[in-house]
Amino acid sequence: MKKMRLDYSLTAPEITAEKLSAFAQTVKDARNMLVNKNGKGNDFLGWLKPQDIVSAEDFANIKETVKRLKKSCDTMVVIGIGGSYLGARTVIEALGDKSGIDSVIFAGQTLSVAYTKELLETLESREFCIAVISKSGTTTEPAAAFRILKELLISKVGEEVAVERIVAITDPDRGALREMATEKGYETYPIPANVGGRFSVFSAVGLLPIAFAGIDIDELILGATESYNALTADDNPMTNKALMYAAIRNILYREGKKSEVTAIFEPRLHYMIEWWKQLYGESEGKDGLGIFPVGAEFTTDLHSMGQCLQDGERTIFETFVVVDGGFDPINIPKVSDNLDGLDFLVGADIDAINKSAFMGTVLAHRDGDVPVLIITLPDLSAKSIGELLYFYQFACGVSGYILGVNPFDQPAVEDYKTNMFALLNKPKYEEKGKAVRERVENTLGKFIVD
């Protein structure tokens, strides 16, 4: 069976055999720190062996929970932000909801009033359950959404039934959500203490919603496990695609390529880009370092960002993620006139045209001095997506260690929250609130153009 492949042919002339050879030991050292669990942040490597993140008992129970919920519910609302929802959404959007409707809806990832209003209106006609995902239970966005949606659920079915329709995925021992779940009697699954949110897609965080959408979680884990076996067994960057990817992006970074554009030609991979942006942005962007992760969806963005990508400042490189096959053909029809000039495409398959657009773009951007990597998936299946996501996770750990940072912490993500809590008068933030409000008054609104 075909597997995912990495083609780095079009990273030359920036990447040469000599550079890769000179960099090989650095890459091996980083790989060994990850596999041997002796690098920075090694207490957050519970994701490294994907088949062991969830116990066999919990894996079976997840399937039983889905069966139980589907007897009375047509919709699951997943409440979470960042890694608590992006992994599940990536898989579901890529593979499609197998239930025939949008049976998994996401909340708690935004504070938008318009989004919340539309969500509440949608749920009025749905029989829904809730999967609330948070290690602490106090993160503002999901906590606010849970309050609102829990009350809606209670108003529809009563408190006793609502308890049966709420599943909490949270810290196994502590935190507000764990305390609430114990008090109310919600069914629970653990977020392993040694797995960070952005690495949690193969835990219950991802598996419960993915299973509710009717996707085969056995195949997903199989793809990740096969990837783990291959990537951990080989320490040679020339034959290990994750090590090669980590090596190339760090060599390019050291030579002034400060941004990586991950580009797709399949819209169903849109949330894979969003997941990738969090994974690499949060893992590498620290200590004044890090490749800036950018996403592009082609051919759409070729008509907006194309000029800059082709001819702008040469500080970028591109990684294309494409799907080799597995699509039913849709052909261009013959019409009575040729006013649009498309008769040369009569009988051509849309996917073949898309692949020609992809190759044309790759060659054009390489001609524009953009180094190009190509990741090719054999198809859009649970197994292939599992392999892709694990590849990215493993390569991220190696790449972060090459960069010299701790890939598994996020020391700066709380900064905006501190200011927000101060402005909202959260208890214990009163003194900070005064200073923040004074800063807003003294710095914003002084120079305005109407």
Q: How far apart are CA 252 and CA 222, in angstroms?
A: 33
Catalytic residue among 2, 67, 417, 434: 417
For the sheet containing 166-170, what is the strand order? 104-107, 75-79, 128-133, 166-170, 187-190
Q: How far apart are CA 65 and CA 70, in angstroms?
A: 9
Q: How far apart are CA 92 and CA 212, in angstroms?
A: 10
Query: What is the SS3 assignment for 223?
Result: helix
- Straight-line distance from the first to the last Cα atom of the chain, in angstroms, rounded to the nearest whole number: 61
Concerning whether 255 is annotated as a catalytic residue, the answer is no
Q: What does each C-alpha distance from 168 to 84, 190, 327, 355 come to in angstroms?
A: 12, 8, 37, 43
Catalytic residue among 141, 282, 297, 387: 282
Q: 299 preceded by cis ω (within 30°)? A: yes
Structure tokens at 390: 């694990």
Concerning whether 303 is annotated as a catalytic residue, the answer is yes
Residues 6 or more apart whose CB falls under 8 angstroms from that of 312 comprise none
Q: What is the DSSP letter of 83?
A: G
Concerning whether 270 is annotated as a catalytic residue, the answer is no
Instruction: Report CA torsion sign: 190, 192, 198, 201.
Output: negative
Instruction: Report CA torsion sign: 279, 284, 288, 291.
Output: negative
Catalytic residue among 71, 303, 428, 446: 303
CA angle (292 as vertex; 291, 294 as ends), nearest 5: 130
Q: How far apart are CA 133 and CA 83, in angstroms?
A: 10
Catalytically active residues, by annotation: 282, 303, 417
